[in-house]
Amino acid sequence: MADKHPELKSAKLADVSIKRGAGGETHQVAEGEVASLTTRQGVPVSDDQNSLKLGRRGPTLMEDFHFREKIFHFDHERIPERVVHARGFGAHGFFETTESLADITAADIFQRAGEKTPVFVRFSTVAGNKGSSDLARDVRGFAVKFYTKEGNWDLVGNNIPVFFIQDAIKFPDLIHAAKQEPDRGFPQAQTAHDNFWDFISLMPESINMALWIMSDRTIPRSFRFMEGFGVHTFRLIDAKGKSTYVKFHWKPKLGMQSVVWNEAVKLNGADPDFHRRDMWDAIQAGDYPEWELGLQLFDDDFADKFEFDILDATKIIPEERVPIRRVGRLVLDRTVDNFFNETEQVAFQTGNIVPGIDFTNDPLLQGRNFSYLDTQLKRLGSPNFNDLPINAPKCPFHTFQQDGHMTLNNPRGRANYEPNSWGANGGPRETPKGFRSFPTEEAGDKRRTRGELFADHYSQARQFYISQSETEQTHIKDAFVFELSKVETPEIRARVVSHLINVDKTLAKLVADGLGMTLPKAAEPARKPITDLPPSPALSIIKNAPGSFKGRKLGILVSDGVDAALLTALEKAAKQQGALVELVAPTVGGFTASDGKQRPAKQKVNGGPSVLYDAVAILVSAEGAAQLQQEATARDFVADAFAHAKFIATTEDAMPLLEKAGVEPDGGVMSLGGPKDAGRFLELCSQLRFWEREPKVHAV
C-alpha cells in the first residue's frame, strides 16, 4: 500500500487500540509504528484496493473473504436509517415504452410500444443523515423500481454518470471519509472537511468525480430539473441470446437547472425541505415530472477500440461518440400515501434484474450486487422485506422460501422443496422462459487487480472541465476553493491541487491562488493522460438550457396599492408559460390591490426570500416601497435575486427599494411600463439566469 501511496510512509499512528481475542485485550500501537491492516480475525491484508477477480477484467469472486467481511460490517453500521441515501423522497408513476426494443432485448417491458409499467422512484442525497437539508452539495440518488410483468427491475443510479471509485471494496472507505468525522460527529451532509479530501487526494481514480461534484450538478434546482444515470455498463440480451452493451440515461423533460452556491446555502436556511416541497407541489398541481429514458448501445468492437474501459465506473462514453436512443418516458403522477410505509421501506437492489437484462464485470457493480441484499436485511429486519407492498412485485410470484420474521407468504400444501414428485400439487417448477445469464467465457489468474485502462485517472476529468461554459468553470473553481478552505491540513490541500494540475493547469493555478498557496508539483500519473479529447457539449448544464420557463416559479413582491392590471397580466403570462406564481407581501394576510380588491399572499416577506424563486418581480406601490425599504428581508429579497443572476421585473414606483438594496439595473432587470410588458418579461425569463451579471457581482 505504501508503494502505491508514498505519502503514507510518513504516517504516524498514536495510541490506537485494536481489540484482540474474546477477552477484549488490546494492543497499543506506539507513536511512529505503522499498524498492519488486518481482517477482524487478525489476518494481515496485502491489498485493500482491489477485490479478488478472475483475470484483470473478470468477475469478482465469492471467495474474497476480506471484501465480504468489509462490506458485511459496513452494511450493518447504522440502524434504522440507510447508511447512504438516508434522506430521500419518493413518488409513484409509470414508465411508457415509446418504441419496441424487441430487436435488442427480450425484456418484456420493452416489447410493446405504448405499454405502461408501474414504477416507484426515490430521489436522495448520499452523504447527509435523514434529517439533513435538501440543498447540500452532494450527489443525488435516482432509483427507479419497475414493476414489470416478469418481476421487479431496479435501476439504481445517480444524477451523475460516474462514481468516486472503481472497485466496491473501497466503498466503506469512501463513505467513512465523506461522513461525519468519527471523533467529533461533524460535519454532516458536506464534504468540506479533512477526511474526505484526504481520501480523495490519495485516490487519483476519484479525480474525475471530484470535478463533477464541484460542478453545479451537485446543487440541482429541483429533482425535476436533473438528469439520471444507471452509471454502470449493463447488457441487453435478445431472444436469440445476443448481447448488446447499454448505458441508461434519464433526460428531464423540463431541462437541466441548478442553483448557485450562495443561493443553496440560503435555501437550506429558508426551506431545508426545498426539493421535497417542489416535487410534492408539482405533483399535487398536476404538473407531473417527466423524463425520457435514453440508451447508449454499443458492441464489443466499440468496447475494444474505446480509449477507456467500459467496465470502469469512473468513466463515461460521451454522447457525441455513442448517441442516445430515446425509447420511453417516465412520469411521476402520485405522491405516497404514507412516507414511512413507502419511501422509507422501499428496498432497491442492483441485483434485481429481469430476463433480457444482465450484468457486466464492472467491479463496482459486482460489489453492489453483493451488498444491497445484505443491507436490506439489516434495515428492514427480516428476509421477508419483499413482502412489504412497496417492494412486492405486481406480477404473480412463486417460491419455496419460508418462515423468518413477519412472513406473509409461506408455501401452501405439503411441498416446500424442489425437486419433488408431487405433480401438480408440488408447487412451482423451472421454466424455459426464466432468467438466463449471458454465457461469457472467463479465464485468467485469480488475483487482486484491475484492467490496465483503469489507470487513466485524469483524461476524462479534463474533458469534463473543458466542456463547461466559462460560468460553470468559474463555479467549479470557486467550489474547490471553498471546500479546500475548510480543510485544516495544508498537505491535503496541496495533494488535491497537485492532481488538478494534471486536469487543467489554469484551473489548478486559480484554485491555488484562491487558497493563497504556491502551486505544488504535479502528481505523478499512473498512466499518461490523453490531452486532446474534444469537448462534449452534452456535459454542460448551461449549454443545454431548456429555453423555457415552464415548470419554474415566479415570486412577485407586492404591497397595498399594487397595480392590479399589471399583476394580473404577469400571472396570466406566467400561466401561459407553464410557470407557477407566488405572491410575497408584508403580511401573509394579504394586500389590497389598486382595484380595491383584497387578495391573500402565499408568503410573508421575511419567510419568502427570493432564493425560493427562479425569477422575481417587484411590483410594490410607492408607499409600499417606502415601507419595505426599512425591512431588511425586503432589501435582501431584491439584493439576493440580483446577486444570484436572476431576472428581475420592476416598476418606477419600486425603484427606491432597488436603490436601497444596492441594485443598479442591468440587462437582466426589466422595467415594466404596463400590462403589455408582462409577456416580454416572461420570455426573458426563459433564459433562466442572466449570467453576464455574475462576474460583475463577484468583483464587488
**Distance (Å) of CA 559 to CA 460, 599, 640:** 52, 10, 19
Kindly report the number of other CB atoms within 10 A of residue 72's CB atom: 16
Burial class (CB in 10 A: 0-12, 13-18, 19+), 639: middle
Grid coordinates representing 278?
417542489
> Is there a binding annotation on residue 368?
yes
| Given 66, 85, 193, 475, the catalytic residue | 85
Instruction: For residue 429, say whether it is annotated as part of any ligand binding site.
Output: no
Radius of gyration (C-alpha) of the chain in whole angstroms: 28
User: 316 near 296, Cβ under 8 Å?
Assistant: no
DSSP-assigned states of every residue in 36-47: PPB-TT--B-S-
Measured in degrees and rounded to the nearest 5, phi and psi for residue 366 equal -60, -40
> What spatial distance separates the first Cα and last Cα of the chain, rounded to whole Å?
48
Which CA distances in Å does 44 have to 35, 36, 39, 291? 10, 7, 7, 49
- Check the annotation: does 122 bind a ligand: yes
Q: Which positions ≥6 away from 92 have C-beta within 8 Å?
A: 118, 119, 120, 121, 332, 333, 334, 335, 336
- Closest by alpha carbon to 144, among 122, 177, 165, 114? 122
Distance CA 91, CA 257 (A): 21
Of 293, 291, 299, the C-alpha closest to 246 is 299
Nearest to 689 by CA among 637, 639, 613, 614: 614
Report the SS3 class of residue 280: helix
User: Is residue 158 annotated as a catalytic residue, yes or no?
Assistant: yes
Cα torsion through 558, 561, 562, 563, rounded to 10:
180
Closest C-alpha to 169, from 80, 85, 73: 73
Among candidate residues 66, 92, 152, 158, the one labeled active-site is 158
Give the Cα separation of 580 and 367 in Å (integer).
44
Stated as kind and residue range, the H or E segment containing 245 is: strand 243-252
3-state secondary structure of 315: coil
Q: Print the SS3 string covering 582-639.
A: EEEECCCCCEECCCCCEECCCEEHHHCCHHHCCEEEECCCHHHHHHHCCCHHHHHHHH
And the C-alpha cell for 87? 434522506
Active site residue 85: yes
Under DSSP, the state recorded for 670 is E
Q: Is 379 annotated as a binding residue?
A: yes
d(CA 155, CA 232): 10
Distinct helix (H) and strand (E) counts, the chain: 19, 22
Identify whether 586 is preceded by a cis peptide bond (ω within 30 of 0): no
DSSP state of 228: E
> What is the three-class DSSP state of 695?
helix
Residue appearing with cell numbers 408584508:
586
Is 57 annotated as belonging to a binding site?
A: no
**Catalytic (active-site) positions:** 85, 158
Task: Enumerate the known binding-site residues for heme.
Answer: 82, 122, 171, 368, 372, 379
Which residues are annotated binding-site positions?
82, 122, 171, 368, 372, 379
